[in-house]
Structures are given as structure tokens and as C-alpha cells.
Amino acid sequence: MFKEVIGEQGERKERIHPPKIFVFIDGPYLSKAVNALGLRERNMDLDFQKMLGYLADPKKSELVGACYYSGLSFSASAQPFFQKLKNFGYEVIVGEENPVTGKVAPVDHQLLTDLCLDKDNYDIATVVSGDGDFAYAIESLVIRFGKKVNIVATRSNISTNLLALANRYPSQVRILFLEEHYQWFTMRRVLKNGKKNTGK
């Protein structure tokens, strides 16, 4: 919590401001994490609405933005998923598509760019990725701008550089392992007939 002292007619008052949180999700990484956790094998999937509420608890913080960086193109088949994310409050960002090969470029650079450019809009950045390419930027945000960063990743796929940051700056860099938290934002997968798969 952040306190602001306000003078009003000679009186001193304190007003508590919850920290502002911005969520950045590396979509390709998260998709691999879901497979690694075996969720789809158990007919489970992530509930992105619950996930956003869990990562930025409205009772303790103020969510100022949430971006999902997708490795999928804006194809017709991906539209229902993208629209669902938008309905939940995410901004969907995709990599540039190669006009020749049709492949979508990695979204790491876009996430990294927004993480830095939006630094004045948040107090805490929550980065869902275990990619070590983000380590230098995260450390710069911490030591140069006093930001706090939550890293959400799996134990089996997280860079040692990110783990080192958590050890070096324990009060500013926190790691949330999905293995210990995913149960709070999962759901049964929905079949095409609209019914939830019970797994039976």
C-alpha cells in the first residue's frame, strides 16, 4: 500500500493507495506451461478471468492493464479465444506474420518493449514467463525505477537468471510457481455441445 499525506485546513490526513499492477502474459510460454502441468490431459484448462483476478486481487491492488501476447495469428479459428480474452479485460497482441511463410514472429520483443514503455503506469509488473531474455529489463526496472516484479512460471521451465534476480532482490522480485497456484484459476474444459467435460 502507498500512503499519501494530504494537508486540509491545517489537518494532516493519510490516504492509502493500493499498488497499481500491470499483467504481461507470454502466451506461447503459458501454453507450454499448461501442457507441462498436464491440465489438458485431465480435461482442465486455465480460466483467464479468474487468473486475472488472482494475479491482481482487486481487494489489494488496482489493475491498470493486462496484455496477452499470442503466438497465434488473427485467423478465424483464433477469434473466439481472442474475443474471450478481450471480454475479460485483456488486450491481445500478436506477432507479425511473415507474408511468405505465414509463420508468426516471436512476441518476446513486443512484451519486453511494453514492459519498459509502460513503467510509469504501474508499481508492480506481473510477468507470466520464465524466459531469461526478460532478466536484464526486469533488473533495470527494479534498480533504476524502484519497480516490483512478480514472475509467474513453472519450476521446470524458468531461467536461472530470473531465479537469481529473486535471490538478489528478495523484497522486489517475487516468483510464483504455477505448480503451487494454478488450482485457483482452472476450470473444466467445455465441449462443443456447451457441456463441461467431467472426465468420466
Structural domain spans, the chain: 16-188
Tell me the C-alpha distance between 110 and 68, whole Å. 11
Per-residue pLDDT band at 9 (split at 50, 70, 90): low
Fold of 16-188: Rossmann fold (3.40.50)
Q: 53 vs 57, 74, 157, CA distance in Å?
A: 5, 26, 24
Note the pLDDT of residue 197: 46
Mean pLDDT rounded to a whole number for the chain: 87
Higher model confidence: residue 182 or residue 1?
A: 182
Name the one residue in this structure whose C-alpha cell is 485467423.
75
Which of 72-81, 123-132, 190-199 has the lowest average pLDDT?
190-199
CB 15 within 8 A of CB 94: no
Note the pLDDT of residue 198: 38
Note the pLDDT of residue 51: 97
Note the pLDDT of residue 72: 77
pLDDT digits (tens, 9 = 90+) for 38-60: 998 899 999 999 999 999 999 99
Classify the C-alpha dihedral 66-22-17-61 as positive or negative.
positive
21, HSE (Cβ side, Cα atoms, 13 Å): 21
- Cell, residue 66: 493486462
Which of 13-27, 33-47, 82-96 has the lowest average pLDDT?
13-27
Note the pLDDT of residue 7: 53
Tell me the C-alpha distance between 17 and 27, whole Å. 31
Per-residue pLDDT band at 12 (split at 50, 70, 90): low
pTM for this entry:
0.85
Tell me the C-alpha distance between 45 and 63, whole Å. 23
Tell me the C-alpha distance between 136 and 158, whole Å. 15
pLDDT digits (tens, 9 = 90+) for 140-166: 999 999 999 999 999 999 999 999 999
Average pLDDT over residues 109-130: 97
Which DSSP symbol is given to 166? H
